[in-house]
Structure 1
């Protein structure tokens, strides 16, 4: 599990940088400031939780608990739902996609709670 989440986190950090650069250079002038702000929020949370996945990978080597694995998968799902919905919303302008974003946010919260519990029990 160490390698899996470390690699998954590193891939997502790479994607967050690429997606952020695309937004800064490719979308400037094509989106309103409102939608650029939404897009940038997606990038910010994407990177934070990519680093979170790397942390989960490191913890997986030190803490033997299935909760760490669950935390990693739920965090990854959170990236897809939270950041992914913000990327699509900002580019498409379909505001109904914003209804998905809080589900991703709850996934982020749940993943961090699982990390806390797993480390506390270790």
Structure 2
């Protein structure tokens, strides 16, 4: 779990730098710089969530899986939208958002409705 989080964090930083430098002109020309930044922001945030879960709550496998799949679908669809400028890719993004929300909800409920730590 820690290695997956490390790879996710590495990719978030690499894609952030790639967008800020190599893709800056193209993203600015197409008006997609804010979209790219949103993808990187959610990617990096949830890579950190994966790392914290791996260290502090390794039993939270459902939450981990939902966060991982949500991060891939949400940020991945935005990255692809920026690369290929295909508007239909934006219709996939909310599915990733719902998976991220489900990850947060499952983390809340994993210890039962009474809460946990």
Shift of 1:92: 0.9
Match of 2:20 among 10, 13, 24: 24
Gaps of 5+ in 2: none
Task: Compute the TM-score of the two structures, normalised by the length of structure 2.
Answer: 0.89
SS at structure 2 position matched to 1:26:
coil
Q: Tell me, which stretches of 5 or more residues in structure 1 are unaligned?
A: none
- Report the alpha carbon displacement of residue 121 of structure 1 after superposing the two structures with TM: 4.4
Deviation at 1:112, TM superposition (A): 0.8
Structure with more relative contact order (C-alpha pairs < 8 Å, separation 6 or more): 1
Deviation digits for residues 32-84 of structure 1 (CA, Å, limit 9, x no counterpart): 362111011000000000001012112324xx5xxx10110111101110000
- May I ask how many residue pairs the two structures share in their alignment? 113
Deviations 1:74-112 (A, max 9, x none): 111011100000000011110110010000000001001
Q: CA RMSD in A?
A: 1.5
Report the Cα distance in structure 2 between the residues aligned to 1:29 and 1:121, rounded to whole angstroms.
48
Runs of 4+ with deviation above 6 angstroms: none
Distance 1:82 1:9 in 2: 16
| 2: CA distance, partners of 1:110 / 1:58 | 20
Normalised TM-score (structure 1): 0.85
- 1:85 pairs with one of 67, 77, 86: 77
Q: Name the counterpart of 2:103.
A: 111
SS at structure 1 position matched to 2:6: helix
- Structure (1 or 2) with the greater helix fraction: 1
Q: Which residue of 1 aligns with 2:50?
A: 53
